[in-house]
Amino acid sequence: MKPIASPDPPIGIPDFDLAGAGLAVEEIETSPCTRACPAGINVKSYVSLVGQHRFEEAMRVIRDTCPLPSVCGRVCTHPCEETCRLGETGEAVAIRALKRFVADRCHDLPPPATAPERSTPVAIVGSGPAGLTAAWDLRLMGYPVTVFEAEAEPGGMLRYGIAVYRLPRDVLRREIGQIEKTGVEIHANRRLGCDFTLESLFDEGYRAVLVATGGGHGRRLGLPGEAALLEVEDALAFLHRANEGDRKSPGKRVVVIGGGSTAIEAARTAVRLGAERVEILYRRSLAEMPASGEEIDEAIAEGVLLRYLVAPDRIIEDDGRLVGLRCLEVELGEADSSGRRRPVVIPGSEFDVAADRVLAAVGQVAELDFLPPRLLSRLDRRKGLAVDPATGMTELKGVFAAGDVVTGPATVAAAVGAGHDSARAIHRWIEGRATGGRETPSTAPEFGFWTAPPKRPERRHPPTRHPTGKLDFDEVELAFTEDDAVAEANRCLRCGPCDECHVCAPSCDHRHLRVESPSGGSLEVRAPASLVGRMPDDPVRTRISGVGRSVSSEAVDRAGESQFVLAPVRGHIETERCRACGACIEICPFTAIDLEARTAGSDPKARIDLPLCRGCELCTAVCPTGAAESMLRDASWWDARASEALASSEEGGAPTIVLACERRAAELKADGRRVIGLPCAGAVTGGRLLDLVGRGAGRIEVATCTSGSCRFVAGPELASAATEQARDLLGLMGLEARVQMEDKEVEHGDVH
């Protein structure tokens, strides 16, 4: 998770001093996808930005917490999609493919600027995802960073363990190139323990060292005689060779043992290298396979055979040559410590599988020979390198460790997350702060959804390339088209109080926040510029509470309180007034409203599912009773804004009033127009327009976003309908000449 709960600066943005301002910050609830991301990416935010065609901003949001968007967009196991609420009734949003689309499209977006240069260099050993992430984070904080890579090219498992048809090497090179552009130096062909040692790094002046050397070499099958046979091989070594361009056929009948990504990739690579029959043997069932569903489906489509609940028992050889494997059928017993059910052999179930090549993909053993002998002797190599969970440091002072070398084989996203943790830990240690430790788990509350997710269009799938004839090593899955990406992104429910598009942060003078005072009052805040600079980069997910006048002295003065809370604006139903007509349910673009009987037998009332509400206030515009209210806009809000906009000036004559959504209102105001800002121009009603006519407006313009870019989906259409209605009703009375009224779509920045 992002370090919002911590008093330390989030990675990649300038320092802010909340404590100095007398403020404490806590997280408020976030969407399930963002919560699920091991790399801490704000998933909802970038999906929302893609839906608005704002691809570069989406790229920035992704890169805020992930320096490897193209990689993750291709190979991530997407735990976000597993938690997506749309999965409850249909298919999850294709989040991974959206990230790939953004990353491909904006791959040349320059990396963010680094913080002022620091004088304490950091060495990182290993250029896999954990090492590269830590390098990126530390570099952006201003540290001089050098990465040492044992192999000839950087990338670690990304380069040597992931098949090229899933992650083309030019893509990987490009992405690492972006990291190097920040000033990270990568030295290849430098192996820890051979070319340098931990001590020598400190001697050279590095203040801290991060060991991110990866999971090590493949584990043996543990069958008698396997070491003597060249045909029984570590699947990783096989992949490594193939990925480096070795196109020699592995054999005619290839058997792969294992169920993870490595097993699948070794099998698919073997198919590509001309093996006639490729079979994966896995000792658990399909449900337990760690490889992702897409990978498994693609492997099957390419002719790979999968056999479940099978374990190898011994090697069958003939004259020193491998001819097959004696296998046993197993069934699943009790769950083991990993939570998966342990395979139990079925006695008498032996059978033989013919093979002239066996590839073992059954886990990895850490390579830790570089460690001093006194430490090495105490380590269990099967468990990897231990770090202090509080500090992220190993037993060696100044030596940190992250990624597979600590956890054993894990996902790219987990490695990215570990990279962030290490970068923060190293930063804290160098700053001399021993406390704080690694990132604590998010304290953000869970959502309490109570409405069923709405129906959404069918999930779109990215195109795939199916070569006719022989399979090659070109990429199989391709990127979404722009139309498909936008459509897919707009299937997203944007669970949470706002869509976190961040449009409010840099450009908007109305931050859509409210100040809540402990005595129960609340009022609107126009966030002062000082707050924009000081707040965490994710204001909408942040609740700031504190004592003092530094957040918004104006707001505090108005509240007459010294304690306050900033929170997003959401809708509100005054149940006493609600007659359950359903108008709000129909209009809500986020299906956040439904009828609910408060007690059995009582009248149903509309209720807003707050985590889904994003405060567009369209419901307040259509509610026939005024029961749907905004937390900000009480009865006097419109009155005050209308009076203010129509207040007499030196112009003379009937004034022109512009109604605009808040995205546009600031620009229009800066242009000197008389503007009434609404959360969405779609929240304007025929009644409000007529009210302005009745108050003497001579011309009314409704400035909306362009169709498709409205973050509340239907703003331009609703604004247009309201204008039409007002014009129509005036027309019936022959009063159309009383006012000029038009609605027009205005491109962002195209205000005149």
State the residues that interact with other proteins by CB under 8 A.
575-582, 603, 605, 621-627, 635-636, 638-639, 685-688, 690-691, 693-694, 725, 728-735, 738
**CB-nearer residue toward other proteins: 335 or 735:** 735
* Pairwise CA distance, residues 340 & 332, whole Å: 9
Question: Tokens 């079979």 — which residue?
Answer: 279
Tell me the pairing of strands 628-630 and 571-573.
Answer: antiparallel
- The encoded tokens of residue 397 equal 């002072």
CB 745, min distance to other proteins, A: 24
Q: Are 593 and 609 in contact (CB under 8 A)?
A: yes
- φ, ψ of residue 79 in degrees (nearest 5): -60, -25
Per DSSP, which regions of 84-168 are E strands? 122-125, 145-148
- The encoded tokens of residue 68 equal 């490897």
User: SS3 breakdown of the chain: % helix, strand, coil, rounded to 5?
Assistant: 35, 20, 50
Q: Are 385 and 406 in contact (CB under 8 A)?
A: yes
CB 452, min distance to other proteins, A: 18
**CB-nearer residue toward other proteins: 28 or 578:** 578
CB 653, min distance to other proteins, A: 15
- The encoded tokens of residue 209 equal 């060292």
**CB-nearer residue toward other proteins: 155 or 686:** 686
Q: How many residues does the chain have?
A: 752
* Pairwise CA distance, residues 145 & 197, whole Å: 17
- Number of helices (H) and strands (E) in the chain: give both, helices first: 26, 29
CB 439, min distance to other proteins, A: 48
**CB-nearer residue toward other proteins: 180 or 736:** 736
**CB-nearer residue toward other proteins: 263 or 690:** 690
* Pairwise CA distance, residues 18 & 24, whole Å: 7
**CB-nearer residue toward other proteins: 24 or 580:** 580
* Pairwise CA distance, residues 643 & 655, whole Å: 12
**CB-nearer residue toward other proteins: 709 or 720:** 720
CB 731, min distance to other proteins, A: 7
Q: Are 568 and 615 in contact (CB under 8 A)?
A: yes
CB 693, min distance to other proteins, A: 5
CB 718, min distance to other proteins, A: 13
User: Dihedral of the CA atoms 615, 616, 621, 623 (nearest 10)?
Assistant: -50
* Pairwise CA distance, residues 696 & 505, whole Å: 35
User: Dihedral of the CA atoms 131, 134, 135, 138 (nearest 10)?
Assistant: -160
Cα distance between the two ends of the chain: 42
CB 734, min distance to other proteins, A: 3
**CB-nearer residue toward other proteins: 207 or 688:** 688
CB 564, min distance to other proteins, A: 25
- Amino acid in position 557: D
**CB-nearer residue toward other proteins: 481 or 625:** 625
Read off the DSSP letter of residue 730. H
CB 683, min distance to other proteins, A: 11
**CB-nearer residue toward other proteins: 426 or 627:** 627
CB 725, min distance to other proteins, A: 8
**CB-nearer residue toward other proteins: 74 or 727:** 727
Q: Which of 604, 557, 198 is nearest to 372 (CA)?
A: 198
**CB-nearer residue toward other proteins: 337 or 648:** 648
DSSP letters, 406-459, are HHSS--HHHHHHHHHHHHHHHHHHHTT--SS-SPPPP-PPPP---SPPPP-PPP
Residues in a beta bridge with 605: 596
Q: Are 282 and 263 in contact (CB under 8 A)?
A: yes
* Pairwise CA distance, residues 273 & 96, whole Å: 28
**CB-nearer residue toward other proteins: 159 or 605:** 605
